[in-house]
Amino acid sequence: MVGYGPYLDLIDDLIVGKERVSSGMRRELDRAHAAVQAAEAGRLVAVVSSGDAGVYGMAGLVLEVLPEGSPVEVEIVPGVTAASAAAACLGAPLMNDFAVVSLSDLLTPLDVIERRVQAAVDGDFVLALYNPRGRRRVEPLRRTLASLRACRPAGTPVGLVRNALRDDQHTSVTTLSELREEDVDMLTVVIVGNRSTMLRDGRMITPRGYPVEAAESAAEPS
């Protein structure tokens, strides 16, 4: 079982008696190498990510590290990515086209992040922001909010979900103008509505486009 220590701890009861190889944050490359090395030595290895391993997770890194033509078989098991988990906590903000952007500039240059955010704003995508703010990494969020505030109405709903679907989950809903940088941290997923997203009874809803009002009287539930 290869993974970031705290993630392995989360599935403690599922991996009793299994050998564990854990390493700290930012040691992803080491973990990928450890997993491939053990698999090439004939071991049955599981690499654990949080959310969906295929979305900013370990799946790609393991495939990148795996030598071309390696006989090791890799099965990727998809999961519930943080955008889906956070959306479920907030209501249904992802009912229409959406873009997922990581604001971490550790691996992606800030100008690329900025260009992507602007493109998502231009396309009126609902926007799910991963890694929105680090302790010393505030600039990407600041620029993102500036782009959004220049192009979307002040009342655009914004949802913040910290530790989605974990014990210490915290959910809040605000608007683009009222969102405060300090309310966002590294463990928060931020979902910004598009021009149609509304707030109702505290929930974010992005209409899919069905003629809900018109059909209400005509509907014949069977």
Residues 27-56 interacting with a copy of itself (rule: CB under 8 A): 28-31, 33-34, 37, 52, 54-56
User: What's the min distance (Å) between Cβ of 16 and a copy of itself?
Assistant: 21
Best CA proximity match to 149, nearest among 177, 113, 191, 178? 177
Q: Report, in Å, the least distance between residue 116 CB and a copy of itself.
A: 4
Question: Count of CB atoms within 10 A of residue 81's CB?
Answer: 22
Residue 25 CB partners (closer than 8 Å, separation 6+): 4
| Contact pick of 39, 45, 48, 85 for a copy of itself (by CB under 8 A) | 85
How near is the Cβ of 100 to a copy of itself at its closest, in Å?
Answer: 5
Range 188-207, binding a copy of itself (CB under 8 A) = 200-201, 203, 205-207
CA distance 144 to 110: 11
Work out how close the CB of 198 gets to a copy of itself at its nearest, in angstroms, rounded to a whole number. Answer: 9
Phi (first) and psi of residue 219, to 5 degrees: -65, 140
**C-beta of 142: minimal distance to a copy of itself in Å?**
18
Nearer to a copy of itself, 96 or 174 (CB): 96
By CB under 8 A, name the one of 9, 19, 97, 111 that touches a copy of itself.
Answer: 97
Q: What minimum distance in Å lies between the beta carbon of 53 and a copy of itself?
A: 8
- Which residue from 31, 28, 27 is spatially nearest to 39, judged by alpha carbons? 31
Residue closer to a copy of itself (CB basis): 14 or 29? 29
Could you give the CA distance from residue 213 to residue 222 in angstroms, rounded to a whole number? 19
Q: Binding of a copy of itself at residue 3 (CB under 8 A)?
A: no
> For residues 115-154, which are near a copy of itself according to CB under 8 A?
115-116, 118-120, 122-125
Size of the site for a copy of itself (CB under 8 A): 76
Nearer to a copy of itself, 12 or 222 (CB): 222
